[in-house]
Amino acid sequence: MAVPTELRARALQCLLERDPAAKAAAVAAMAAADLAGERTLDADAALATPPGIPGRPERPELVPPLKVGRRSMATVEGRAMLIHALAHIEFNAVNLALDALWRFPGMPERYYTDWLRVAKEEATHFSMLSAHLQTLGYAYGDFPAHDSLWEMVAKTCDDAMARMALVPRTLEARGLDAIPPLRAKLAQAGDLEAANILDIILRDEIGHVEIGNRWYGHLCAQRGLEPRATYAELALRYKAPPLRGPFNIEARRQAGFTEGELDALS
């Protein structure tokens, strides 16, 4: 199959790829081609939605969140279950970045390069976690996983503003809160390699949430909408999960949340 040079078309091709390692490699190649100037920006192209979105392997089995299983840090298997869950989140994050890149036409060029950066970094995160999982004697797909992140991606296919509001600045922002205690558990269990990977993920995720915040603000301003009131309306309309603490206030501040939003969390 010929590899398109148009950025959005190529992102769609990556999104449809089912093999996780091949998807990560395709995203890296797409980012390298962009860096080398070997692409055109098809920002206004009308791309039909093909079947098979998102491309993913037959395993892991997808189950309701409460059936994923407990993750005791006292055993190798328990740590592997946690690493597997994190790898699944990052695999979904690759897909959501690719979907944000191809699905919404007519955005400024920086929107597309921002989401290309997100896709590349999420693919790197997945590859690191997948490789570490193998050192524990397991592989991606060995444990069940849930699909909550992608469910919100699917709900917001009709509106870029809703997507920015409810995926990066809501669901992905929860990662800013969750990563520090998970890192502490892994470090306490002696898995310093996993702890170091989470340091990288937290650093990058701050930037990813900032991208979502920035483009949400852009779209609100473009439509003449007040951001906080609009967010509350979108969260209700799309049935976003309620925000529960504790919150990583400093990371959220770095990611572009306003002081008014941060005050409301407390």
pLDDT in tens, 37-50: 999 999 999 999 99
Query: CB neighbours of 219 closer than 8 A, spacing ≥ 6?
Result: 160, 161, 164
pLDDT in tens, 203-260: 999 999 999 999 999 999 999 999 999 999 999 999 999 999 999 999 999 999 999 9
1 pLDDT tier (thresholds 50, 70, 90): low
Reduced to 3 states, what is the DSSP secondary structure of residue 71? Answer: coil
The 8-class DSSP code of residue 243 comes to P
At CA 12, angle to CA 54 and CA 131, rounded to 5? 60
Helix (H) or strand (E) holding 4: none
- Cα–Cα distance for residue pair 94/185, rounded to 1 Å: 25
Which one-letter amino acid corresponds to residue 217? G
Reduced to 3 states, what is the DSSP secondary structure of residue 40? Answer: strand
pLDDT in tens, 183-208: 999 999 999 999 999 999 999 999 99
CA distances from 88 to 64, 75, 142, 223 (A): 14, 20, 11, 35
Query: Alpha helix locations (H) across the chain?
Result: 7-16, 20-35, 76-103, 109-135, 148-155, 160-166, 173-188, 192-223, 227-237, 249-254, 259-265
The domains of the chain are located at 7-265
pTM reported for the whole predicted model: 0.97
pLDDT in tens, 113-144: 999 999 999 999 999 999 999 999 999 999 99
Omega before residue 144 within 30° of 0, cis: no
Q: Are the beta carbons of 58 and 138 closer than 8 angstroms?
A: no
Q: For 163, what's the count of Cα atoms within 13 Å in the CB-facing half-sphere?
A: 21
CA distances from 169 to 92, 149, 185 (A): 16, 12, 25
